[in-house]
Amino acid sequence: GAGVSQSPSNKVTEKGKDVELRCDPISGHTALYWYRQSLGQGLEFLIYFQGNSAPDKSGLPSDRFSAERTGGSVSTLTIQRTQQEDSAVYLCASSFSREGPQHFGDGTRLSIL
Amino acid sequence: AQKITQTQPGMFVQEKEAVTLDCTYDTSDQSYGLFWYKQPSSGEMIFLIYQGSYDEQNATEGRYSLNFQKARKSANLVISASQLGDSAMYFCAMRPRDDKIIFGKGTRLHILP
């Protein structure tokens, strides 16, 4: 499809394991955002990529969280040594430019047992 | 500091009535964008409407309009002739000129039959 694609849609893992979440933005979109959303809550900003600029990592909650964006396209969010409080929906969004509206993926629902 | 405030955590409105969802923002930038998103219970984030800070007319998209009052720094969303399908979480967002987009905490709208 032409939208933002996230995988997996659901992930259940044991505490202490590492997880990788993938985001495939809309082709040609230069901006890419990762957010975390707990049940019934608002969006918590994690990280922002804009073109070839250094990413804005100011929202990452701890050094267990990291993200990459390869070739200005696909992004991977990695959470190491997962904790139960990491359980949430992780949303990815992209936009054509810094100014444009964001288009969101359907999210990855992460559950840490 | 950049800030978005949505003061209504929840609202109940009778079907077919008009709804106004409040949003105020704070920024020192002269150029910025304002957005509204809808998040139904299914979880996807749907872009509704955009207003640029230099746009002289209020943005409209179908039943959605944005009541932009620049001097008061408010960007309220108006939904005309509400429908049961409008029940959802609504997020206001602002993108300052040289910074990442930020979201409000959201307003949960319930449309009553």
Q: What is the 3-state secondary structure (H, E, C) of B4-62?
A: EECCCCEEEEECCCCEEECCEEECCCCCEEEEEEEECCCCCCEEEEEEECCCCCCCEEC
> Taken in order A2, A7, A10, A15, is the CA torsion positive or negative?
negative
Rounded to an integer, what distance in angstroms lies between the CA atom of residue A107 and that of residue A109? Answer: 6
Structure tokens at A64: 């267990």
Of A32, A2, A23, A42, nearest to A100 by C-alpha is A32
CB-CB neighbors (< 8 A) of B46 in chain A? 104
pLDDT surpassing 90 at residue A97: no
- The DSSP secondary structure of A45-81, one letter per residue, reads EEEEEETTSPPB-TT--STTEEEEEGGGS-EEEEE-S
Question: For residue A1, what pLDDT is reported?
Answer: 54
DSSP state of A99: S
Question: Which of chain B's residues have a Cβ under 8 Å away from the Cβ of A45?
Answer: 100, 102-103
Report the C-alpha gap between A88 and A86 in whole angstroms.
6
The pLDDT assigned to A89 comes to: 96
B105/A104 touch (CB, cutoff 8 Å), yes or no: no
The predicted pLDDT at position B68 comes to 96
* Residue B51, min C-alpha distance to chain A (Å): 10
Q: 3-class DSSP state for residue A69? A: strand
Residue % of chain B over a pLDDT of 70: 100
In this predicted structure, what is the pLDDT of residue B97? 78
- Start-to-end C-alpha separation, chain A: 32
Alpha carbons B73 and B23: distance in angstroms, whole number: 9
Instruction: Check whether B85 has a pLDDT greater than 90.
Output: yes
Tens of pLDDT, residues A54-72 = 999 999 999 999 999 988 7
pLDDT digits (tens, 9 = 90+) for A11-70: 999 999 999 999 999 999 999 999 999 988 889 999 999 888 899 999 999 999 999 998
Please tell me the total number of residues recorded for chain B in this structure. 113
Greatest CA separation for chain A: 39
**Contact criterion met (CB below 8 Å) for B67 and B2:** no
- For residue range B15-46, what is the model confidence (pLDDT) as tens digits? 999 999 999 999 988 889 999 999 999 889 99
Mean pLDDT, range B62-72, rounded to an integer: 96
Q: Could you read off the pLDDT of B94-113 as tens digits, one per residue?
A: 988 777 888 999 999 999 99
Q: pLDDT averaged over chain A?
A: 93
Under the banding of pLDDT at 50, 70 and 90, the label for residue B79 is very high
- Tell me: pLDDT of B1 over 80: no
Min Cα–Cα distance to chain B from A81, Å: 27
Residue with tokens 């923002």: B25
